[in-house]
Structure 1
Amino acid sequence: MTEYHHEHTHDHEERVTASHLHIYVKAWLITFVIAGLELVGAILSGSFALLADITHVFTDTIVGLAPVSVEVMKKKTVISRERIEAAGGVLVSAFLIFIGYHIIGEANEHLAGGHEEVSGLLMFIFSGLAALGNLYQHRLLSRVSPMHRHAAHSGFHFHILTDLVKNMILPFLGLWIYFGGGSEIDAYAGYAIGWLIILRAVLLVLESLFGKHVVQHGLDRFVHWIIR
């Protein structure tokens, strides 16, 4: 009876994992669609913010495939899931900081270079299409997020929040430029994207080192200190 229960449970876990892998791979492929839209939009419109966001979008690939990596690693090593997650979180954070640092450097060069022509209408169209793809991607990931601790990271939730804000702001900035607003705001948007990536990385590495509850408690106290 015990052996049957063990085999039945193992088969069920394999079916659930296979289902999750299908969703993660689908969300991963959508990443390339989003990046393609932003690349074409950046080339046609001259928007640095769209170009900067391509690297931001590709960081989703790394974070999105993290649960799959843990599933593979835990079958091939005796290292605990917690240590695999912690090591992965530190590595991903280092990569995010590297990307964010270079985006900020590029943004500073654009700001120092003076006025640049940006087509606000094209920026609006392509950032809007990319935003729709990103929202669909998060809907896919939300189907499995309750069943993976990765999706409970404050860094992950912060990433979703910043994605939602970005998805609204970039099309709005496109309209702003189209109706006569200064195009330098595009470089500032790229600058903000770089810092958001770094902030996300800091949250992720803190959780990897000290645990989710410790970081969440610290964030709660910080927010309370701000609004009091």
Structure 2
Amino acid sequence: MAHQHNHTEGGGNRNRLLAAFIVTAVFMVAEVAGGILSGSLALLADAGHMLTDAAALLVALLAVQFAQRKPNARHTFGLLRLTTLAAFVNALALLVITVLIVWEAIRRFYQPQPVTGGLMLVIAVAGLLANLLSFWLLHRGSEEKNLNVRAAALHVLGDLLGSVGAIVAALIILFTGWTPIDPILSILVSALVLRSAWSLLKESFHELLEGSPSSINADKLKRDLTLSIAEVRNVHHVHVWQVGEKPVMTLHVQVIPPYDHDALLHRIHDYLHRNYQIDHATVQMEYQPCGGDDCDLGHSGHQHTHHHHH
């Protein structure tokens, strides 16, 4: 395998994701078995984490598949939004698992369970190695800023810490026999899961609500465009949102009637591409100030309310 970057839009990503998925799924099963046999909740917490890892990887795999499908008349963006929805569902699943583990941990403080430290240690170390392997696989693919690959890598990172927690608990049980350390560390592992789930939930929810990408400030963009291009007097009706990883934008620009309409339009597109990395912008150029109701989405239509006589 020479160092070739096959940028057939996610081909390399797919193989890495698939490998990481297989590693994670196999070790998740091992951790569940180990957790049940040794009676360790920290292992089960880590396995729960690995389950969501495997789900995250599966989602990312599907996303890569969907991203390769061509847009059609019904889905003009292709199915890229599915990836965002998948990240969102994934984050919700993480939250549910966290609650279950914490609930069980609290129960175990009241009724301590016997834990086999030796078996627990072996499984935890194996889990750590599996995580290192899948993290390495994913991180070679992280130059593509893909929300799902990032989500998956985030999970695996949290999972690394989870395995470390299980190892620590196993060592303490082996040397001191103090079993409450097991539920204590399972709660810590859950806190890690919670943190990654929360940020993922926020990010994907924002995208589902057509929020503008965090890197783009619409007000600043309006000012910059007016200042940078002499013919542009006013920029309004600006909408920026994100589909998959691509920012998409529509805007109205009021301009001084140019000598060459297309050249000015080209300069505006070029400016957006250079300064904001927006490749897909729809620009409506106007010579008069915009006077219609349609200039302000969300505020139009309220003047029609008095027609409804009962």
TM-score computed with the length of structure 2 as normaliser:
0.57
2: distance between equivalents of 1:66 and 1:145? 16
Query: Which amino acid in structure 2 is aligned with residue 109 of structure 1?
Result: R
Larger Rg: 2
Is the contact between residue 31 and residue 127 of structure 2 (CA under 8 Å) also seen in structure 1?
yes
Match of 1:176 in 2: 172
| Equivalent residues in 2 for 1:101-120, closer than 5 Å | 101-113=99-111, 115-120=112-117
Long gaps (5+) in structure 2: 1-5, 216-310
Write 1 or 2 for the structure with the bigger share of strand. 2
Match of 2:184 in 1: 188
| Equivalent residues in 2 for 1:120-135, closer than 5 Å | 120-135=117-132
Is the contact between residue 109 and residue 180 of structure 2 (CA under 8 Å) also seen in structure 1?
yes
Is the contact between residue 124 and residue 171 of structure 1 (CA under 8 Å) also seen in structure 2?
yes
Residue-by-residue CA offset, 1:109-143 (whole Å, 9 max, x unaligned): 22222x22111122111100111111111111112
Cα RMSD for the two superposed structures: 2.7
Query: Which amino acid in structure 1 is aligned with residue 97 of structure 2?
Result: I
| Equivalent residues in 2 for 1:1-228, closer than 5 Å | 13-14=7-8, 17-74=10-67, 75=69, 77-79=75-77, 83-113=81-111, 115-150=112-147, 153=150, 158-210=154-206, 214=214
**Structure-2 change in CA distance of 1:52 and 1:68 (3 Å):** same
Which one has more relative contact order, counting CA pairs under 8 Å at least 6 apart?
1
2: distance between equivalents of 1:209 and 1:43? 35
Is the contact between residue 85 and residue 208 of structure 1 (CA under 8 Å) also seen in structure 2?
no
Q: Percent identity?
A: 26
Is the contact between residue 52 and residue 193 of structure 1 (CA under 8 Å) also seen in structure 2?
yes
1: distance between equivalents of 2:157 and 2:20? 18
1: distance between equivalents of 2:128 and 2:46? 11
Q: Number of aligned residue pairs: give it.
A: 201
Secondary structure (helix, strand or coil) at the match of 2:178 reads coil
1: distance between equivalents of 2:169 and 2:81? 42
17-26 or 196-205: bigger deviation = 17-26
Q: CA deviation at 1:84?
A: 3.4
2: distance between equivalents of 1:72 and 1:151? 12
2: distance between equivalents of 1:58 and 1:193? 14
Q: CA deviation at 1:157?
A: 6.0
Residue-by-residue CA offset, 1:73-116 (whole Å, 9 max, x unaligned): 34264346764343222221111112211122122222222x22
2: distance between equivalents of 1:170 and 1:198? 17
Q: CA deviation at 1:164?
A: 3.0
163-172 or 53-62: bigger deviation = 163-172
Query: Which amino acid in structure 2 is aligned with residue 143 of structure 1?
Result: R
Is the contact between residue 146 and residue 152 of structure 1 (CA under 8 Å) also seen in structure 2?
no
2: distance between equivalents of 1:146 and 1:13? 12
TM-score computed with the length of structure 1 as normaliser:
0.75
Write 1 or 2 for the structure with the bigger share of helix. 1
183-192 or 161-170: bigger deviation = 161-170
Residue-by-residue CA offset, 1:59-86 (whole Å, 9 max, x unaligned): 1112223332223334264346764343
